[in-house]
């Protein structure tokens, strides 16, 4: 594929890339743990009829067969650490749903996933409102200019008042909520929704455990009054109030991140899930050309290009291999094509390309802008790397967050130093942990640095079970890393309580116990270079 296409082929490829991109919707669900992300994922897939019964795609501890939670640790804790993409067709669109880890300790991972989406669904628990992790992820979306659709979930359970929830959204996110549907019945008495586009009533009917698609009944406003009486009247009055405050959807404001369309749902009963899919297809943006590191935009119809947003290995015992997930930015991806790896300028053959969702893998022959492809045994590829055919492109590097926890890592079995080295290198290139080195450390033991301490657990677990190199961690008393330079080293070295280490990318980091230790050094020596790293929100 690096060879020039006959002009006609290239034109055809460009046209199909543009046409296929137009029907892609690539998004992630952001939420606080327990808001119902896994349940919603199941429900979305169920609606698209990927699976016959809810529960087969995704799951948590103690639930039935899951494909997303692959690691023992994930199962034991009931959390999802890894990310993958679920692709399905709905109406005439192709939906790519990227999974994100819910736990705050993996926010860096989630951030990387959010670089690969065009929209986000903010899932809010009706009883809890906007929770901390939702707010953090929301801030990332806002910063990246990602349009957000809000889903108020668990309306079948007692919760806050719908209007109060709207106030909370506008006060805490500065987004103006523009509900597309409005609940009939208070939280805990969910009867259906009023569709604000035409004033009609979509009445939900329950199925056993929400295991199959909940049938909806469309009723006229007149029929709705007769059926629901006061609950309908109240919904109508509240909707009038919304209209009076200008809470109506306007596409350009949504795309500009000024407003957020809101839907009410009960993921566990599959209520409102079809409306979410329709909203994504009708309103969420399709992929557009992406700016490269210099800021110039490469058009969708240009030859294939992509960037790696996640690298992962040892997904489960049956597939002990390394996968690099790419988001396609331009052109057509054809399995087997030879592309260039931007960082090394080496050719890379895409022989094994897969759609991956947890344990489910499926070979991909063709893919288009917005799609996510898992490249198997891509040992040369690191997070943030660009791949391209024909015309070089360098997409912007992915942000590395400032670590806040540090530990020296040592092999527990000296004979296993080879496995130890390989494992540490692997975790570093996957971005599971940052590996820091220091000449001052006599035994040359690397220092692992993480944003959240649970990343240490993942590293320890994987070193033992995947690389067969059990490790011991010694926590270090630092909580703050600042970027420094060679010229500052002598002055820093003469001060106590500070350690300088080097990251794999060559960056020198000065480690401090806390901000007071930092300020003390800055006061003593004003000429030292000490710059903050990007904080994990
Ligand atoms: P997460 O991925 O965001 O962490 O949330 P998850 O889907 O695991 O859902 C967390 C809990 O909330 C689950 O209950 C789930 O069944 C429940 N839930 C999700 N959506 C709804 C909803 O619309 N209504 C109600 N009433 N509950 C909902 P659990 O007891 O922790 O697990 P399980 O044993 O029920 O699976």
In the reported structure, the alpha carbon of residue 10 is separated from the centroid of ligand 1 by a whole-number distance in angstroms of 48
- Say if strands 85-90 and 93-98 run parallel, antiparallel, or are unpaired: antiparallel
Q: What CA–CA distance (Å, rounded) separates 227 from 221?
A: 10
In the reported structure, the alpha carbon of residue 73 is separated from the centroid of ligand 1 by a whole-number distance in angstroms of 19
Predicted confidence (pLDDT) per residue in 420-447, tens digit? 999 998 888 777 889 999 877 767 799 9
Question: Between vectors from CA 302 to CA 298 and to CA 303, what angle results, nearest 5°?
Answer: 120
Q: For the chain, give the number of residues.
A: 537
- Identify the pLDDT of residue 50: 61
Which CATH homologous superfamily contains domain 28-55+75-83+92-283?
P-loop containing nucleotide triphosphate hydrolases (3.40.50.300)
In the reported structure, the alpha carbon of residue 39 is separated from the centroid of ligand 1 by a whole-number distance in angstroms of 6
Q: What CA–CA distance (Å, rounded) separates 370 from 536?
A: 26
**Ligand 1, atom 36: nearest CA belongs to which residue?**
63
Q: What CA–CA distance (Å, rounded) separates 121 from 141?
A: 10
**Ligand 1, atom 9: nearest CA belongs to which residue?**
36
In the reported structure, the alpha carbon of residue 274 is separated from the centroid of ligand 1 by a whole-number distance in angstroms of 18
Domains 305-388 and 405-532 share a fold: no
Cβ distance 265 to 125 under 8 Å? no
Per the listing, tokens 């919904």 go with: 235
In the reported structure, the alpha carbon of residue 56 is separated from the centroid of ligand 1 by a whole-number distance in angstroms of 15
> Residue 79 CA: which ligand 1 atom is closest?
4
Q: What CA–CA distance (Å, rounded) separates 55 from 49?
A: 13
Q: What CA–CA distance (Å, rounded) separates 444 from 321?
A: 28
**Ligand 1, atom 18: nearest CA belongs to which residue?**
36
With a 6 A CB cut-off, is 206 part of the ligand 1 pocket? no
Positions of E strands within 430-479: 434-437, 447-450, 471-475
Predicted confidence (pLDDT) per residue in 42-71, tens digit? 888 888 766 544 444 444 433 433 334 444
Phi, psi torsion values for 455, nearest 5 degrees: -60, -30
- Identify the pLDDT of residue 92: 92
> Residue 157 CA: which ligand 1 atom is closest?
26
Q: Which two tokens stand for residue 490?
A: 């002598």
With a 6 A CB cut-off, is 423 part of the ligand 1 pocket? no
Residues of the chain where predicted confidence (pLDDT) is lower than 50:
1-4, 52-71, 73-83, 537
Q: How many CB atoms lie within 10 A of CB 414?
A: 8
With a 6 A CB cut-off, is 100 part of the ligand 1 pocket? no
Pocket test of ligand 1: the residue of 28, 29, 30, 34 to mutate, having most ligand atoms within 8 Å of its CB, is 34
- Say if strands 499-503 and 508-512 run parallel, antiparallel, or are unpaired: antiparallel
- Identify the pLDDT of residue 408: 95
Cβ distance 33 to 78 under 8 Å? no
Nearest C-alpha neighbor of 276 from the set 53, 122, 158: 122
- Identify the pLDDT of residue 72: 52
With a 6 A CB cut-off, is 335 part of the ligand 1 pocket? no
Helix, coil or strand: residue 514: coil
- Identify the pLDDT of residue 49: 67
> Residue 267 CA: which ligand 1 atom is closest?
23
With a 6 A CB cut-off, is 39 part of the ligand 1 pocket? yes
With a 6 A CB cut-off, is 102 part of the ligand 1 pocket? yes
Q: Which distant-in-sequence residues (6+ apart) come within 8 Å of 243 by Cβ?
A: none
- Say if strands 297-298 and 148-153 run parallel, antiparallel, or are unpaired: unpaired
With a 6 A CB cut-off, is 267 part of the ligand 1 pocket? yes
- Identify the pLDDT of residue 85: 80
- Identify the pLDDT of residue 51: 54
With a 6 A CB cut-off, is 37 part of the ligand 1 pocket? yes
DSSP structural state of residue 401: B
How does DSSP assign 96-163, residue by residue? EEE----SGGGHHHHHHHHTT-SEEEEEEETTTBS-HHHHHHHHHHHHHT--EEEEEE-TTS----HH
Q: What CA–CA distance (Å, rounded) separates 488 from 12?
A: 56
- Identify the pLDDT of residue 259: 96
In the reported structure, the alpha carbon of residue 269 is separated from the centroid of ligand 1 by a whole-number distance in angstroms of 11
Query: Domain coordinates of the chain in residue numbers?
Result: 28-55+75-83+92-283, 305-388, 405-532
Single pTM value for the model = 0.82
- Identify the pLDDT of residue 3: 46
With a 6 A CB cut-off, is 157 part of the ligand 1 pocket? yes
Say which CATH topology domain 305-388 has.
Answer: Elongation Factor Tu (Ef-tu); domain 3 (2.40.30)
Kindly give the interhelix angle for 230-244 and 162-173, rounded to the nearest 10 degrees.
Answer: 30
Question: Between vectors from CA 536 to CA 532 and to CA 537, what angle results, nearest 5°?
Answer: 100
Nearest C-alpha neighbor of 472 from the set 528, 394, 536, 412: 412
Binding site for GTP, residues?
99-103
Say which CATH topology domain 405-532 has.
Answer: Alpha-Beta Plaits (3.30.70)
């Amino acid at each position: 594929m690096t060879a020039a296409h006959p002009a006609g082929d290239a034109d055809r490829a460009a046209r199909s890339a543009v046409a296929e991109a137009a029907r892609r919707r690539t998004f992630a669900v952001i939420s606080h743990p327990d808001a119902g992300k896994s349940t919603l994922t199941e429900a979305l897939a169920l609606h698209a009829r990927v699976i016959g019964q809810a529960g087969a795609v995704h799951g948590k501890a103690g639930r039935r067969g899951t494909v997303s939670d692959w690691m023992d640790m994930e199962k034991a804790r009931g959390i999802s650490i890894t990310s993958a993409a679920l692709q399905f067709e709905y109406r005439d669109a192709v939906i790519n749903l990227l999974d994100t880890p819910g736990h705050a300790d993996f926010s860096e991972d989630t951030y990387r996933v959010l670089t690969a989406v065009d929209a986000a669904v903010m899932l809010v628990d009706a009883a809890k409102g906007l929770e901390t992790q939702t707010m953090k992820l929301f801030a990332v979306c806002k910063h990246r200019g990602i349009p957000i659709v809000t889903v108020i979930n668990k309306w079948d359970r007692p919760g806050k008042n719908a209007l109060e929830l709207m106030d909370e959204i506008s006060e805490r996110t500065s987004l103006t909520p523009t509900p597309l549907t409005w609940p009939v019945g208070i939280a805990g008495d969910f009867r259906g929704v009023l569709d604000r586009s035409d004033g009609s009533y979509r009445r939900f009917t329950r199925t056993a455990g929400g295991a199959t698609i909940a049938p909806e009944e469309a009723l006229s406003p007149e029929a709705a009054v007769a059926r629901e009486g006061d609950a309908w009247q109240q919904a109508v009055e509240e909707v009038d109030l919304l209209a009076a405050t200008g809470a109506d959807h306007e596409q350009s404001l949504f795309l500009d991140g000024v407003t957020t369309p809101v839907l009410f749902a009960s993921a566990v009963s599959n209520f409102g899930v079809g409306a979410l899919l329709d909203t994504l297809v009708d309103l969420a943006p399709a992929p557009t050309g992406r700016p490269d590191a210099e800021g110039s935009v490469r058009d969708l119809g240009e030859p294939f290009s992509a960037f790696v947003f996640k690298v992962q290995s040892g997904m489960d015992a049956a597939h002990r291999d390394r996968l690099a997930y790419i988001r396609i930015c331009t052109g057509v991806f054809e399995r087997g094509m030879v592309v260039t790896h931007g960082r090394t300028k080496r050719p890379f053959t895409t022989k094994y390309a897969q759609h991956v969702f947890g344990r489910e893998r499926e070979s991909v022959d063709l893919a288009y802008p917005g799609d996510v492809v898992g490249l198997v045994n891509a040992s040369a590829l690191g997070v943030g790397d660009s791949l391209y055919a024909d015309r070089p492109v360098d997409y912007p590097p992915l942000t590395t967050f400032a670590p806040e926890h540090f530990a020296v890592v040592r092999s527990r079995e000296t004979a296993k130093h080879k496995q130890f080295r390989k494992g540490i290198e692997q975790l570093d290139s996957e971005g599971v942990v940052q590996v820091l080195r220091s000449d001052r450390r006599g035994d040359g033991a690397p220092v692992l640095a993480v944003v959240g301490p649970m990343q240490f657990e993942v590293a320890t677990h994987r070193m033992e079970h995947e690389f067969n190199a059990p490790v011991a961690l010694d926590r270090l008393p630092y909580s703050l890393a600042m970027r420094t330079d060679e010229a500052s080293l002598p002055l820093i070295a003469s001060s106590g309580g500070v350690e300088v280490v080097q990251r794999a990318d060559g960056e020198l980091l000065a480690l401090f116990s806390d901000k007071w230790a930092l300020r003390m050094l800055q006061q003593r020596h004003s000429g030292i270079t000490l710059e903050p790293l990007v904080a994990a929100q």
